């Protein structure tokens, strides 16, 4: 086992068993999070990136279930663990922040107490000591007047402040891994930049590895070291961030980048990817992107492509990937 | 907060006077004459006239109302026509029985209702959930008199564990409390379940679990407090209506409570007594709502902020 890898996900598959059949939300996804790095998962809504995150935390909602694969946290497989064992890991070794800071905090409990709860859950320390640590953590995440904010209720804080509280809550036990699920999607742009900067700082000072989930390529480009592009429950391309942006190889990734570039250039007609994400209940037989792909040939529609090497640390799930 | 409560109490007083006026008017426009009912149909017309004057019923309406209200504000609700004692002393006699009945019914209802509601919500869609919800449907839809008579038949008549009627000691309250609480238990269970199921879907429940909180901790610390807000409102309203007298239950079990008093007042056309009991009920309902509001603002900081 590589010492420098914090989290290694191998062939993770998560399905939802609905009345209409099995929905493969995550299908044989593998990725590594090296120690102290920020790894991005990017893709459209419904591509399985949030479900991947929830699978790692084992916070899937009924009727979701992990059906295969390994989740290796520093070599220890989390997939077979039960609720009791997971509750020792959640918050202590892996923490998570969510998309909606508005609804992710309990409205009837002061925010300081909610952060304190996270540390009291895992450390045998007195309440006063815990409070001191909370105040310190609130300061670290850039909340001014922590003593005063400690007693505030969520509705008394702005969206950005609430997300800072969420980050403080996640980081207070100094976890090995932080999963940030669209942490800035609900915030405005200036606050977004501050929060991203804060995540980077925390990675540098505390050394926590981060999985950053976003549909926003700009956010990914700013922060990540390594990127996995997901489509319909699969990883379709993976590469170091610079390599991916310099040399996008999968037609889906190129489509995403084109639409961003065309937006930047201010084209009259926005470049988009035609069609829509396939229904996960009725996936195409061959390549899942084939129905929307400008390059798809007959063999693409027949047999599903494997991830193949395009460059140094760069894989793509397409036989026509541009080298 | 205090200012707000003061304002609410003043408002309540205005509502009370309004209700008193309405009762006053209604009791005077319903057909029939209280004096004739009291003295018998064949009473001497002179005697009737004398009686009417004695009770002040010959004075103009607004004078009567003024006299009544000023008396009521001092705690004097007049004298019962049929029993010839002051209404306040009759109420003071009956009220403790009603309070005992109401509190024991409420305890039965809330304990059963909340516990069943929580279990049903946690085990959503399980057999237990269906069983509890089926039972609660029974509770909500079965009329009090039916439950009361079934209980009387089995536990008092067949098994002989309790007296069929009357309250000589605490055991006399057991069956009436169950009969009366049964119905409230059903609605409390259903409300607790539905709000808890809803709250368990909230994002902050995920946050709590992501912190490493175990299931019970999540439910007790995070979910319950949020889901109990509407339940507490319902409990306060229920308690105030229970306190204002359970007419049917008190009659079936022969408990001398406010409900019985009101029934007697109606059949005897005892206007002062009826006014007194209705006014008491109104005051209790208003008080119940006031308490619910105050509790709500203690439990939910977002409401406090609105003050």
Model pLDDT, residue B252: 83
3-state secondary structure of A178: strand
Top residue of B124, B198, B207, B227 to mutate, by most chain A CBs within 10 Å, is B207
Q: Is residue B231 part of a domain?
A: yes
Whether B67 and B98 share a structural domain:
no
Spell out which residues of chain A touch residue B222, defining contact as CB-CB under 8 Å: 106, 109
Q: Do A83 and B221 touch (CB under 8 A)?
A: no
Domain count, chain A: 2
Q: Do B207 and A84 touch (CB under 8 A)?
A: no
Q: Is residue A64 part of a domain?
A: yes
Whether B132 and B187 share a structural domain:
yes
Count of CB atoms within 10 A of residue B145's CB? Answer: 13
3-state secondary structure of A68: strand
Please give the Cα distance from A104 to A116 (Å, whole number).
16
Round the CA-based radius of gyration of chain A to a whole number and report it.
20
Compare CB distances from B299 to A90, A108, A155 and report the shortest one's residue.
A108
Please give the residue range of the domain that contains residue B34: 2-73
Task: Name the strands in the sheet holding A38-42, side by side, starting at the edge strand that comes first in the sequence.
Answer: A94-97, A177-181, A209-214, A38-42, A226-231, A234-240, A314-316, A308-311
Please give the Cα distance from A249 to A316 (Å, whole number).
7
Q: Is residue B173 part of a domain?
A: yes
Whether B20 and B100 share a structural domain:
no
B303 CA: distance to closest CA in chain A (Å): 10
Q: Is residue B278 part of a domain?
A: no
Torsion of CA B24, B27, B31, B34, to 10 degrees: -100
Q: Is residue B211 part of a domain?
A: yes
ipTM for the predicted complex? 0.88
Whether A141 and A172 share a structural domain:
yes
Whether A294 and A150 share a structural domain:
no
Top residue of B198, B210, B217, B224 to mutate, by most chain A CBs within 10 Å, is B210
Q: Do A155 and B300 touch (CB under 8 A)?
A: no
Burial of B161 (0-12, 13-18, 19+ CB in 10 A): exposed
CA atoms within 13 A on the CB side of B269: 13
Whether A87 and A166 share a structural domain:
yes
Whether A277 and A216 share a structural domain:
no
Site of tokens 């956010």: A219
Q: Nearest-CA neighbor of A121 among A149, A148, A86, A165?
A: A86
Q: Do B212 and A156 touch (CB under 8 A)?
A: no
Q: Nearest-CA neighbor of B216 among B116, B118, B130?
A: B118
Whether B105 and B202 share a structural domain:
yes
Whether A85 and A223 share a structural domain:
yes
Q: Is residue B292 part of a domain?
A: no
Spell out which residues of chain A touch residue B210, defining contact as CB-CB under 8 Å: 57, 59, 90-91, 95-96, 98, 170
Domain count, chain B: 2
The rounded average pLDDT for each run of 10 residues, N- to C-terminus, in chain B (307 residues) is 78 86 82 70 77 76 82 80 82 86 89 92 87 85 84 82 74 82 88 93 93 90 90 87 79 84 84 86 86 81 66
Torsion of CA A226, A231, A237, A241, to 10 degrees: -30
Q: Do A84 and B214 touch (CB under 8 A)?
A: yes
Whether B134 and B247 share a structural domain:
yes
A233 CA: distance to closest CA in chain B (Å): 22
Whether B137 and B69 share a structural domain:
no
Q: DSSP of B244-272, one letter per residue?
A: T--HHHHHHTT--SHHHHHHHHHHTT-HH
Rounded (5°) CA angle A19-A21-A26: 120
Rounded (5°) CA angle A220-A136-A33: 30
Contact indicator for B37, B268 with CB cutoff of 8 Å: yes
A240 CA: distance to closest CA in chain B (Å): 29
What's the whole-number average pLDDT of chain A? 91
B43, B73, B103 - which closes a domain: B73
Q: Is B225 an 8 Å CB contact of chain A?
A: yes
Residues 160-179 of A with CB under 8 A from B: 166, 169-170
Question: Which whole-number Å values give the CA distances from B217 to A70, B198, B221, in the listed order?
Answer: 28, 17, 6
Phi and psi, residue B43, nearest 5° = -70, 155
Q: Is residue A237 part of a domain?
A: no
Q: Do B210 and A100 touch (CB under 8 A)?
A: no
Percentages (nearest 5) of helix, strand, coil residues in chain A: 35, 25, 40
Whether A166 and A308 share a structural domain:
no
Distance, C-alpha A213 to centroid of its chain: 3
Q: Is residue B302 part of a domain?
A: no
Task: Name the strands in the sheet holding A64-73, side by side, starting at the edge strand that comes first in the sequence.
Answer: A21-34, A5-18, A64-73, A76-77
Q: Is A59 an 8 Å CB contact of chain B?
A: yes
A89 CA: distance to closest CA in chain B (Å): 7
Q: Is residue B80 part of a domain?
A: no
Spell out which residues of chain B touch residue A108, defining contact as CB-CB under 8 Å: 225-226, 299-302
Q: Is residue A236 part of a domain?
A: no
Whether A311 and A198 share a structural domain:
no
Task: Give the tokens for residue B102.
Answer: 């109401």
Cβ-defined contacts of B259-262 (< 8 Å, 24+): B259/B98, B260/B94, B261/B90, B261/B91, B261/B94
Q: Do A108 and B226 touch (CB under 8 A)?
A: yes
Tens place of pLDDT for every residue, chain A, 323 residues? Answer: 455 899 999 999 999 998 888 899 999 999 999 999 999 999 888 889 999 999 999 999 888 999 999 999 999 999 999 999 999 999 999 999 998 888 999 999 999 999 999 999 999 999 999 999 999 999 999 999 999 999 999 999 999 999 999 999 999 999 999 999 999 888 888 889 999 999 999 999 999 999 999 998 989 999 999 999 999 999 999 999 999 999 999 999 999 888 888 778 887 788 888 888 888 888 888 899 998 888 888 888 888 999 999 988 999 999 888 65
Spell out which residues of chain B touch residue A113, defining contact as CB-CB under 8 Å: none
Q: Is B126 an 8 Å CB contact of chain A?
A: no
Whether A225 and A254 share a structural domain:
no
Whether B47 and B194 share a structural domain:
no
Whether B176 and B143 share a structural domain:
yes
Count of CB atoms within 10 A of residue A7's CB? Answer: 23
B17, B44, B73 - which closes a domain: B73
Spell out which residues of chain A touch residue B226, defining contact as CB-CB under 8 Å: 106-108
CATH number of domain containing B165: 1.10.3720.10
Whether B140 and B61 share a structural domain:
no
Spell out which residues of chain B touch residue A96, defining contact as CB-CB under 8 Å: 210
Whether A131 and A195 share a structural domain:
yes
Site of tokens 């989930």: A213
Contact indicator for B199, B227 with CB cutoff of 8 Å: yes
Q: Nearest-CA neighbor of A111 among A151, A145, A72, A144?
A: A151
Whether B115 and B68 share a structural domain:
no
Q: Which residues contact B181 (CB under 8 A, 6 or more apart)?
A: B104, B105, B106, B107, B108, B109, B112
Q: Is residue B243 part of a domain?
A: yes
- DSSP single-letter state for residue B219: I
Please give the residue range of the domain that contains residue A164: 5-231
Please give the Cα distance from B147 to A207 (Å, whole number).
66
Phi and psi, residue A271, nearest 5° = -75, 125
Whether B33 and B159 share a structural domain:
no
Whether A252 and A226 share a structural domain:
no
Q: Which residues contact A271 (CB under 8 A, 6 or more apart)?
A: A255, A258, A259, A261, A262
Q: Is B222 an 8 Å CB contact of chain A?
A: yes
Whether A28 and A169 share a structural domain:
yes
B119 CA: distance to closest CA in chain A (Å): 18
Q: Do B300 and A96 touch (CB under 8 A)?
A: no
Site of tokens 């308490």: B291
What number of C-beta contacts closer than 8 Å exist between A and B?
Answer: 81
Model pLDDT, residue A1: 47
Q: Do A98 and B203 touch (CB under 8 A)?
A: yes
Please give the Cα distance from A22 to A16 (Å, whole number).
6
Model pLDDT, residue A2: 53
Q: Do B213 and A169 touch (CB under 8 A)?
A: no
Task: Give the tokens for residue A193.
Answer: 């930049």
Please give the Cα distance from B148 to B162 (Å, whole number).
13
Q: Do B212 and A153 touch (CB under 8 A)?
A: no
Whether A222 and A314 share a structural domain:
no
3-state secondary structure of B165: coil
Q: Is A57 an 8 Å CB contact of chain B?
A: yes
A173 CA: distance to closest CA in chain B (Å): 10
B73, B107, B122 - which closes a domain: B73
> Tens of pLDDT along A191-222?
899 999 999 999 999 999 999 999 989 899 99
Q: Which residue of A has its CA nearest to B210?
A: A90
Q: Do A117 and B211 touch (CB under 8 A)?
A: yes
Spell out which residues of chain A touch residue B305, defining contact as CB-CB under 8 Å: 153, 155-156
Q: Is B307 an 8 Å CB contact of chain A?
A: no
Cite the beta strand spans of A190-317 per DSSP E.
209-214, 226-231, 234-240, 308-311, 314-316
B223 CA: distance to closest CA in chain A (Å): 9
Site of tokens 């079990």: B253
Q: Is residue A171 part of a domain?
A: yes
Spell out which residues of chain B touch residue A84, defining contact as CB-CB under 8 Å: 214
CATH number of domain containing A66: 3.40.50.300
């Amino acid at each position: 086992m590589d010492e420098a890898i914090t989290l290694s996900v191998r062939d993770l598959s998560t399905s939802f068993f609905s009345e209409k059949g099995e929905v493969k939300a995550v299908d044989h996804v593998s990725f590594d999070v090296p120690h102290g790095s920020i790894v991005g998962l990017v893709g459209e809504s419904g591509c399985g990136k949030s479900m991947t995150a929830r699978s790692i935390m084992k916070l899937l909602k009924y009727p979701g279930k992990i059906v295969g694969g390994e989740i290796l946290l520093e070599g220890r497989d989390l997939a077979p663990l039960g609720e009791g064992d997971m509750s020792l890991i959640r918050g202590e070794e892996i923490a998570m922040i969510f998309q909606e800071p508005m609804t992710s905090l309990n409205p009837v409990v002061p925010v300081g107490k909610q952060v304190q709860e996270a540390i009291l859950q895992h450390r045998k320390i007195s309440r006063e000591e815990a409070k001191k640590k909370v105040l310190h953590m609130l300061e670290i995440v850039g909340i001014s007047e922590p003593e005063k904010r400690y007693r505030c209720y969520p509705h008394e804080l702005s969206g950005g402040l609430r997300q800072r509280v969420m980050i403080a809550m996640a980081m207070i036990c100094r976890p090995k891994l932080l999963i940030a699920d669209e942490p800035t999607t609900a915030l405005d742009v200036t606050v977004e930049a501050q929060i991203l900067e804060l995540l980077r700082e925390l990675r540098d000072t505390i050394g926590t590895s981060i999985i950053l989930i976003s549909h926003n390529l700009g956010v990914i480009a700013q922060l990540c070291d390594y990127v996995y592009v997901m489509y319909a429950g699969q990883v379709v391309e993976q590469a170091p961030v610079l390599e991916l942006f310099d040399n996008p190889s999968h037609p889906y990734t190129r489509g995403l980048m084109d639409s961003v570039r065309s937006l930047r250039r201010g084209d009259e007609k926005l470049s988009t990817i035609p069609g829509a994400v396939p229904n996960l209940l009725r996936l195409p037989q061959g390549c899942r992107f084939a129905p929307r792909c400008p390059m798809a040939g007959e063999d693409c529609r027949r047999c599903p492509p494997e991830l193949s090497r395009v460059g140094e640390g760069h894989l793509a799930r397409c036989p026509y990937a541009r080298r | 907060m205090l200012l707000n409560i003061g304002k609410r109490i003043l408002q309540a007083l205005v509502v009370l006077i309004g209700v008193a006026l309405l009762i006053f008017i209604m009791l005077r426009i319903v057909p029939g004459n209280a004096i004739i009912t009291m003295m018998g149909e064949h009473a001497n017309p002179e005697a009737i006239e004398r009686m009417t004057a004695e009770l002040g019923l010959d004075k103009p309406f607004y004078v009567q109302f003024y006299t009544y209200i000023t008396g009521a504000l001092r705690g004097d609700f007049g004298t019962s026509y049929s029993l010839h004692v002051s209404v306040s002393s009759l109420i003071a006699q009956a009220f403790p029985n009603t309070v005992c009945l109401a509190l024991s019914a409420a305890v039965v209802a809330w304990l059963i209702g909340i516990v069943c509601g929580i279990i049903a919500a946690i085990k959503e869609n399980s057999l237990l959930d269906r069983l509890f919800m089926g039972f609660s449907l029974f509770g909500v839809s079965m009329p009090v008199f039916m439950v009361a008579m079934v209980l009387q038949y089995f536990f008092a008549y067949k098994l002989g564990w309790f007296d069929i009627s009357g309250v000589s000691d605490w055991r006399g309250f057991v069956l009436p409390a169950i009969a009366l609480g049964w119905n409230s238990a059903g609605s409390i269970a259903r409300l607790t379940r539905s709000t808890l199921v809803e709250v368990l879907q909230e994002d902050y429940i995920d946050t709590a679990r992501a912190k490493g909180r175990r299931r019970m901790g999540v439910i007790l610390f995070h979910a319950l407090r949020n889901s109990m807000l509407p339940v507490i409102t319902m409990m306060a309203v229920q308690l105030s209506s229970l306190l204002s007298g359970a007419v049917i239950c008190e009659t079936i079990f022969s408990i001398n409570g406010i409900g019985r008093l009101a029934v007697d007042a109606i059949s005897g056309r005892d206007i002062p007594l009826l006014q007194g009991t209705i006014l008491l009920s109104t005051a209790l309902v208003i008080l119940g709502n006031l308490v619910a509001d105050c509790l709500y603002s203690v439990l939910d900081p977002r409401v406090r902020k609105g003050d």
